[in-house]
Amino acid sequence: MGIRKIVVQGDDRLGKKCRQITDFNKRLHILLDDMKDTLEKAEGAGLAAPQVGILRRVVVVADGEGGMIELVNPEIVEQSGTQTGPEGCLSIPGRWGMVTRPNYAKVRAQDRNGNWFEVEGEELLARCLCHELEHLDGHLYIEHIDRFMTEEEVDEYFAGKEDQ
């Protein structure tokens, strides 16, 4: 297991469409394990393979309960509702923007062994699923922002979340 370097905005790999995984082998398992370690160290909500320089359709997402969801070859199969809120990205450090996303998302994906499953989420999990899957097609959240948030707005928003 290891920590991988997170590539940042300006790196060409973040703008490329990722290829499907066809071999569910030890290399994939190492990638998934490293991505989980990297995400945990970075204290993020999700991480897509292109963010660590690998152009494959692989994502890990924090499940909100202390665990992580591994998604291989994921695709959104259902979404509904809307939510608007602050969004950041490990590949765009220190910047937050207001983004409107679906409030509900269902994703169909494969696990590390190639078995198909579905995961669904609302609110933050839905936001995270949509955000991370966009990375696999070469898109960043800043393509959707109404505006960047000031540091004070970000601090105020998260201070309000801690009070709840």
Q: What SS3 string covers the chain?
A: CCCCCCCCCCCHHHHCCCECCCCCCHHHHHHHHHHHHHHHHHCCCEEEHHHHCCCECEEEEECCCCCEEEEEEEEEEEEECCEEEEEEECCEEEEEEEEEECCEEEEEEECCCCCEEEEEEECHHHHHHHHHHHHCCCCCHHHCCCCECCHHHHHHHHHHHHHC
Choosing from 43, 132, 151, 152, the catalytic residue is 132
Give catalytic status of residue 132 as yes or no.
Answer: yes
Which amino acids are annotated catalytic? 132
